[in-house]
Structure 1
């Protein structure tokens, strides 16, 4: 089924981007801030929470299980938690919309509670694999009835007490890791996750901040994260840094549009998330970190970005875990580089909100950019910094990152391009077009 209100949008090329802009709060941290606060006893306060559809789906699900979650007139979210083990039986299905993070992490949260929950989602989410979470949570004692292929809709029957496990991740996935750790919060004993390739570590950082006992060590098998169960979480005051995934769109926009000079404020630069900026610098991007600091336990800086001529690279596969969500916008940057950029080792792109490899190959192809598709990535032939042809209609595939990436590509085209549906952008960056228009000093992105 399509998004409830498809919104075609035409993107026109215009002049340079100038000025300062702040991006919304980090989506990964926002999800976790709500979940951990819902398991603490007392009132937690969260500033800078991303108020996109995905995060609001998490808040609604937690309310359905007993947490009190309200946004104050001051923009601060106040959460009164139920305590670890205190989640209540929801009275209806948990509607996850487009959010894979909400779904997988909440599955972990519920798995070690003696309650039953049904999960549903939109057409995009129901295509995404949940078996990678079902498998370890089943080992811990939870049971599942899912749509064929381990997909939504599904029913989860939690168990208490759950069984602690040692689990080695078969694929690099912070969502699977976090799901197992969250199940371990209410499980007697020690639950361990071994990740051969390190993934984003927001869960470990924030769980420690809430008072959980989390130990991390490196071993020949990989990074071992151990959580002691039956934890007591203490309420916290959290400041959410700006989302590096959202910032990446503005950074690439300023890089490819001649004459641009932009400062993107308050960008989270956790090293497990900042691979996109490493890759762009390898291509020659002019990105300077200003006022480096720490916000909510996370490294943060303002990024000054000026237009630069990019050169093609072979993207190191080891960067994939730290930039997996940013590959679509990297492919856009590659379209404006000199030479042929090759990015491989990113199989996970096939099972995101869309098949992002196929979706971006089709989207760039519709705008005159030559690509070569691999099972695990994409090669993009750049045009040496000139405007791309544009003129096509892009199928955004209900995927917010495809839509935003191609909107950025449309900032420097010979003919306007059209997004068939810009509505999914609201899942992660509701003010995306307002941010771009602020930097452009115009409103050149009109409904089609």
Structure 2
């Protein structure tokens, strides 16, 4: 704990990830695996390429026959190899990706070739070495090659690799069920008329659902929960079969903060709450039946930042990722960053010419500034002022999530 009685973020992340239990392993078709993580290592089931292939359009020749001329005796096309071996002075027309004819050891590229009927001559410098423009059998991988470890993210590249390695299905952990509960009498569904200036549109639920949209997650958005203990308890009980319940608002200990009392009423248990970070101090992590509950602050920027640092790492771990925490990098400051107090600070920032610049509005409710940000600059607790040119740790924000 810090001197403020708050849990350091790194400790909170480790305690949260320790709760993660990936679900059952299932084999899914490649087309259904995007966004998952490998549940077992990916091992090649075949050699790639299976045979020596031409890397260029041209003619397959024997290096010893240079400088020609050659007699063209056939063709090797992709999927239709040349049927016999080349003899001395013979060449075969060949296309990119076609199997090298037996006896051929070099490719004369189209641009260096001149053909009249079946007679082939050099029209340029020709190949510079024996074996030029050939993709050798197994140069990408051999059978039993470890291609990717368990926990690797499955993206379009890995799907292509798995297909080429002889796999039509991959082992992944089952989809997760996540319930997103927004609490507060002041909230009104997005787009609905606001009854008074005391009311605001509910933005957190839509934002959190969008953060999860590209993952193998079935997210539900129940109706907004009013600030009444029985309503909060009923809403939580209705979602207790989810893998994860994410609430926004009501996780602190004020008169209208009802998540903790509702949990106690339902027999849930709080693991920890209050983290030394800004924005986002009033975060709570609890268990309710088999579900993990993460209570986020109600302010939308606080909810976004704590989701990035806690909810998304937890979900990665629950999906079997071998790297759950967000990746960070360093960029030079192109404006001064002020000294930091006792909480780790996440500063909405812009990237300008390869350097990072803090935005002026850092209020935890300022969504326009969040949308403008390219990155969160991560400032450690008690950090002194950072001058222009100082290295600043940062986490990039994707426009796709």
- Aligning the two structures, in what range does the TM-score lie when normalised by the shorter sequence? under 0.3
- Tell me the TM-score normalized by structure 1: 0.24
RCO higher in structure (CA 8 A, sep ≥6): 1
Q: Which has the higher helix share?
A: 1
What TM-score comes out, normalization by structure 2 length? 0.26
- Could you say which structure has the larger radius of gyration? 2
